[in-house]
Chain A
Amino acid sequence: MSRYLFWRLLQAIPLSLGVIVLTFLLIRLAPGDPIAVLAGERSTAEYQAQLRKDLGLDQPLPVQLVRYLGSVLSGNLGYSFSLQQSVLSLVLQRLPATLLLMGASLLLSVTLGVWIGVRTAVRPHTLGSNVATVGSLLGYSLPSFWLGQILILVFAVWLHWFPLVGMTSLVRLTGLAYWADVAWHLVLPTLTISAFNLALFARLVRASMREALEQDFIVSARGKGLPSRIVVYRHALRNALLPVVTIFGLNLGAMLAGFVLVETVFGWPGLGRLTFDAIAARDYPVIGGMFVFLSEAVILANLLTDVLYGAIDPRIRYA
């Protein structure tokens, strides 16, 4: 296990560096001179030259690249001109909100999705299974920004059950009341993000459960006289989760991208909203910093996925 982990970690290093280099090139090669934007159009040529020198932009590209690599590796993701803050502190400020939303929607979509997937695989021809199948097809195909707006319209604007936007109410709350308020704000964005993932997990689990239930070791598990609950949830599900974990890891990047739209629709103060605002303001350091940060997050998540895979399937661990 530890040797396998070590190799996976080693593979992640060049990948991480590659992402940083790519980010550097994307920003430097982007059209338009950042100095002109920064100094203002009516600044003097001397001032621009001075600024260029101060920021190290007069150096040859390879030197700039090495400097950029050095600063990113030491935790400096750049400086946001529009928000007058270091990108790292911006990211750290916004991270908890995104993690909260992500955690809530993963909890909902994984538990419910696995449960629905198992039920529909075990009893494929019941009314409940047919409803779940149609429902997951729907959840799978609805665009999240559209679903978000519909949910706001129905449950916030018409019914007033949930707040329109944001993560907290304007009134200052503390302790339990504060968290209750956050949870109340959390419901609609969580549902919006979960719809797709819930459908994805339900469909994946159903497909792999149906395959797992056909295996010979299910016959021998039943032949031992194990109750069907144990046969299904221990023997079949453990095997059925393998492909699900793989797809989950592959899908994580797309899921993060979805946060940009959903957080914007719900005014959720997380990383997705930060990214959207940075793009609107052409704040290249923030865009670049977010790009590096999110890419590294996906690399890390895939590493964790592999570890999880190894924990489920012993054949991987010792291979």
Chain B
Amino acid sequence: MSGEARSAANGEAVLEIEDLRTSFRLRRGTVRAVDGVDLFVRRSERVGIVGESGCGKSTLALSVMRLIQTPGASITGSVRLGGLDLLALAEDEMTQVRGARVAMVYQDPYTFLNPVFRVGDQIAESLIAHRGMSIADARTETLALLAKLQLPQPASIIDAYPHQLSGGQRQRIVIGMAIACRPALLIADEPTTALDVTVQAQTLRLIGRLVADLGMSLLLISHDLSVIAALCDRVYVMYAGQIVESGPVEALYGGARHPYTSALFGATTTLLDPKREFTVIPGAPPDLASPPSGCRFAVRCPHRMDRCAQPPPPFAAGPGWDARCWLLDETADASARR
């Protein structure tokens, strides 16, 4: 564990994850989608998680929310939210935490809204469940919230059905569902990936403003570094179920230390350009059912060495900056010799 995580444990952390492991048992083997992740988010901090498709970002978020329903899935480690040990809570206790103290914005506003209920009701039911509001009070509060979400004509949108709204409007409703009860932590899993390019930047700015206004902490997941850079203070880079590099966004932009992070920066250059996926990194990530025993990036790494057959531990690269790569060990050795 880095020194950072320990200082976070002293109280300023809203979310603190230690050695989180989530696996799915499939016929072809056990898929370790999240494999020993340490991560923390401070109060009012905006933290990003970035990584290629399939590296376990959504699984990580859903594990924190305890929303993984797949039979046979296992979640171990520790997830602390404020003073609560989420993985130890009974299901009905967790029900009171979800939506109230931690809430999530999902990737696809088309499928995460219930098609047969009015969008206003889908926001209001959260207020009714957690704050015990009357239907009338919840409606008033929802109207105010819709205005805060910059939706035009809240009085008519509150009674609309999802299919009557545009993608951008729907995603604002999903955001509204999440922030209705002002959770301490907002998790946004690729909140703009499914949206039109024209509304992506707008939606990101809205999330940024709401997080600041309501004093929430943000955990923003994206496969697009430019999205993270636009909004976050710190970033975790995830590869094949593990965190390979973490640190302040400017530090990583200034010179990433892990070859995978460098490759990511090389791959995404233009801000918010959806056509630039980083499949430009040659090769494919390992199968999470049987990952290599050494460094998981080794087969794709241009700097691969003999010792990369051993799994690298995290090395400090600067203040609050870690990277899980043997290259950092050598530079440490070299500077010690001089």
> Which of the candidate stretches B105-113, B293-301, B322-330 sits at the interface with the other chain?
B105-113
Question: Could you tell me if A224 and B177 are in contact, using CB atoms closer than 8 angstroms?
Answer: yes
Expressed in whole angstroms, the minimum distance between the Cβ of B82 and any Cβ of chain A is: 15
A313 touches B115 (CB 8 A): yes
Cα(A160)–Cα(B62), bound, Å: 59
Which of A215, A220, A225, A314 sits near B129, CB closer than 8 Å? A225
Provide the A216-254 mask, 1 if CB < 8 A to any CB of B, else 0.
Answer: 110111111111101000010011000000000000000
Q: Is the CB of B95 within 8 A of A217?
A: no
Name A220's contact: one of B91, B161, B177 (CB within 8 Å): B177
Given contacts A223-B98, A226-B95, contact A315 B126 (CB under 8 A): no
Inter-subunit contact B115/A314 (CB<8 Å): yes
A7 interface contact, C-beta 8 A? no
Q: Is A315 touching B163 in the complex (CB atoms < 8 A)? A: yes
Chain B 93-128: CB-based contact to A (< 8 A → 1; otherwise 0): 001111110011010100111111100000001100
Chain A residue nearest to B101 (CB atoms) is A225
Q: What is the minimal beta-carbon distance from B138 to any residue of chain A, in angstroms?
A: 13
**What total of chain A residues lie within 8 Å of the partner, measured CB to CB?**
22
From residue A211, how far is it (CB to closest CB) to chain B in Å?
Answer: 13
Instruction: Kindly state whether residue B197 has any CB partner on chain A within 8 Å.
Output: no
Beyond A226-B129, A230-B125, whether A221 also contacts B95 by CB under 8 A is no
A221 touches B115 (CB 8 A): no
CB contacts (< 8 Å) of A215 on chain B: these are 111
Given known pairs A219-B106, A220-B174, the reply for A225 and B126 (CB within 8 Å) is: yes
Let me know if A224 and B125 touch, CB within 8 A.
yes
Cβ of B164 within 8 Å of any chain A Cβ, yes or no, is yes
Query: Contacts A224-B129, A224-B177: A235 and B98 contacting too (C-beta < 8 A)?
Result: no
State how many angstroms separate the Cβ of B218 from the closest Cβ of chain A: 16
What B residues does A313 contact at CB under 8 A? Answer: 115-116
A318 on the B face (CB < 8 A) = yes
Verify B115–A239 contact, CB threshold 8 A.
yes
Give the residue of B65, B97, B104, B113 whose beta carbon is less than 8 angstroms from that of A217.
Answer: B113
Tell me the bound Cα distance from A97 to B225 in angstroms: 71
Give the chain A neighbours of B130 by CB distance below 8 A. Answer: 225
Contact between chains at B106 and A216 (CB < 8 Å): yes
A227 adjacent to B129 (CB under 8 Å): yes
Name the contact of A225 in the complex, choosing from B97, B112, B116 (C-beta under 8 A): B97
Distance to closest chain A CB from B240 (angstroms)? 24
CB of B311, distance to nearest CB on chain A (Å): 33
Assembly CA distance A225 to B102 (angstroms):
10
User: When chains A and B are docked, how far (Å) is the Cα of A216 from the Cα of B110?
Assistant: 9
* Bound-state Cα–Cα, A238 to B122, Å: 14
- When the two chains form their complex, are residues A223 and B125 in contact, meaning their CB atoms are under 8 A apart? no
Pick the contact of A314 from B62, B100, B116 — CB < 8 Å? B116
**Pairwise interchain contact A223-B129, C-beta atoms closer than 8 A:** no
The residue from A220, A238, A239 contacting B112, defined by CB atoms under 8 A apart: A220
Asked whether, in the complex, the Cβ of A224 is within 8 Å of the Cβ of B113, the reply is: no
Determine how close the nearest CB of chain B comes to the CB of A135; give it in whole angstroms.
24
A96–B51 Cα distance when bound, in Å, is 68
A235 to B117, alpha carbons, bound, how many Å?
Answer: 8
Residues of A within 8 A of B116 (CB): 238-239, 312-314
B67 near A: Cβ within 8 Å?
A: yes
In the complex, which of the residues A216, A220, A230, A312 has the most CB atoms of chain B within 10 Å of its own CB atom? A220
* B95: A residues at CB distance < 8 A: 222, 225-228
CA distance A315 to B177 in the complex (A): 21
Least CB distance, B188 to chain A, in whole angstroms: 12
The A173-232 residues at the B interface (CB cut-off 8 A) are 215-217, 219-228, 230
Measured between C-beta atoms, what is the minimum distance from B175 to chain A in Å?
Answer: 12
CB atoms of B113 and A223 under 8 A apart: no
The answer for the CA separation of A318 and B104 in the assembled complex, in Å, is 30
Instruction: Please tell me if the beta carbons of A235 and B114 are within 8 angstroms of each other in the complex.
Output: yes
Q: Chain B nearest CB: distance from A119 CB in Å?
A: 17
In the complex, chain A residues whose CB is within 8 Å of the CB of B161 = 314-315, 318
Which A residues are CB-close (under 8 A) to B125?
Answer: 224, 226, 230
Q: What residues of chain B lie closer than 8 Å to A239, measured between beta carbons?
A: 114-116
Assess whether B111 is in contact with A225, with CB atoms less than 8 Å apart. no
Which residue of the partner chain B has the closest CB to A227? B95
A286 to chain B, nearest CB (A): 44
User: Which residues A75-133 have CB closer than 8 A to chain B?
Assistant: none
A223-B65, A224-B99, A225-B98 known; A217+B126 contact, CB < 8 A? no
Q: With A224-B126, A238-B116 in contact, is A216–B99 under 8 Å at CB? A: no
A314 to B67, CA, bound (A): 28
- Give Cα A269–Cα B125 distance, bound, in whole angstroms: 49
6 pairs of A and B residues whose beta carbons are closest in the complex: A225-B99, A225-B98, A216-B111, A224-B99, A217-B114, A314-B161
Write the residues of chain A forming the contact surface with B, with a CB cutoff of 8 angstroms.
Answer: 215-217, 219-228, 230, 235, 238-239, 312-315, 318
Q: Give 14 A-B contacts (CB < 8 Å), ordered by A residue.
A: A216-B106, A216-B111, A217-B114, A220-B104, A223-B99, A224-B98, A224-B177, A225-B99, A225-B129, A239-B115, A312-B116, A313-B115, A315-B115, A318-B161
